[in-house]
Amino acid sequence: MYGDDNLSTFGGIWGWNMDPNILHAKMIIEAADAVLVGAGRQLDTAEGVNFMSADMAFLENFEDFHSNYGIGNLSEGITFPFLTDSTHWAFMSKLAHMLYFGATPSKIMLNLARLFANKDYFIVTNSICGHFELVGFDPNRVYETSGSVLGMQCTRGCHNKIYPVGDMVEQMVQQQDDCFVPEELLPVCPVCGGPMRLNLEGMFFVQGTDDEVKQKEFLSFNGRIQNKKLAIIEIGIGQVDIGARMPLMKIATTKTDADYIAVGGNMQNAPSEIEDRFVKIRDNDIERAIRMML
């Protein structure tokens, strides 16, 4: 692992104990031709999206579901066994509106777009928020392992096409009343006539045709980087986000000139195969760490 000692005095300039490895990471990214990014749910939290808390944002958007159904946070609502499609879509449309359609880009995501500007890239993320797309990253280069609020699928899984939710979400948000969406707004599978759901990891989750496109793009990216300088960056990957780390580690162990940067998350020490190329950012403030790498 890269050493910390040479730059340890820089923290005093900024008024806190700055992690000197931030400067190592900054130089690695600047020198890279391409970046492979893995993002976990700690990145959502750093942006201010908390799936496990009844915070102000949750109560402002879901006070009716909190009062009527006792739902205490976003995760509970996503998995709640609503009895009708009308109530299910009332919650899910508000979720999609809060996370994407009514959201503005966070400072972190804007800074990531700046950090990776003019680089070839591919992104693997467990986030369902669509925030990489929100700041202009190509959707075909963002593989969302747990699905996204931007797409919906047939609940019966009769086929694997993922359909964009489009303007439907905003219509549902505007026209719902007392946790119910008008029946005429409920989406129906165009193949079997069954109900539709957001394409989110869970009981009805399917790997869609969009995923096949993204897998082909990942293979293409892997081919393009063989003779290029690659930086691998994981951001906020914890124990529940291992799916976002696996492709990064696979590339890191086969491409032996690629540096591996870990920002936040639970990986404190590198596997022996990449130990001499591993940079751990110990600053727990992900937003600050990303900003300091610009």
Straight-line distance from the first to the last Cα atom of the chain, in angstroms, rounded to the nearest whole number:
22
The model's pLDDT over 236-261, given as tens digits with 9 standing for 90+, comes to 999 888 889 999 999 999 999 999 99
Report d(CA 70, CA 28) in Å as an integer: 48
Q: List the one residue out of 102, 113, 88, 150 whose CA is nearest residue 37.
A: 113
The model's pLDDT over 149-196, given as tens digits with 9 standing for 90+, comes to 999 999 998 999 999 998 999 999 999 999 999 999 999 999 999 999
Over residues 29-33, mean pLDDT: 98
What CATH number should be reported for the domain whose range is 5-46+105-147+208-292? 3.40.50.1220
Where do you find CATH 3.40.50.1220 in the chain?
A: 5-46+105-147+208-292
Over residues 27-43, mean pLDDT: 97
Per the CB < 8 A criterion, the answer to whether 206 and 10 are in contact is no
Where do you find CATH 3.30.1600 in the chain?
A: 50-103+149-200
pLDDT band at 283 (very low <50, low <70, confident <90, very high): confident
Over residues 95-105, mean pLDDT: 97
pLDDT band at 19 (very low <50, low <70, confident <90, very high): confident
For residue 18, the model assigns a pLDDT of 67
For residue 8, the model assigns a pLDDT of 44
Per the CB < 8 A criterion, the answer to whether 143 and 215 are in contact is yes
pLDDT band at 1 (very low <50, low <70, confident <90, very high): low
The answer as to CATH 3.30.1600 being correct for domain 50-103+149-200 is: yes
Q: Over pLDDT 70: what percentage of the chain?
A: 94
Contacts of 35 (CB under 8 A, 6+ apart): 29, 116, 119, 120, 121, 230, 231, 232, 233
The model's pLDDT over 195-230, given as tens digits with 9 standing for 90+, comes to 999 999 876 777 777 788 899 999 999 999 999 999
Q: Is 144 exposed, middle or buried (0-12, 13-18, 19+ CB in 10 A)?
A: buried
For residue 166, the model assigns a pLDDT of 86
For residue 13, the model assigns a pLDDT of 47
Q: In the predicted model, what is the mean pLDDT of the chain? A: 92
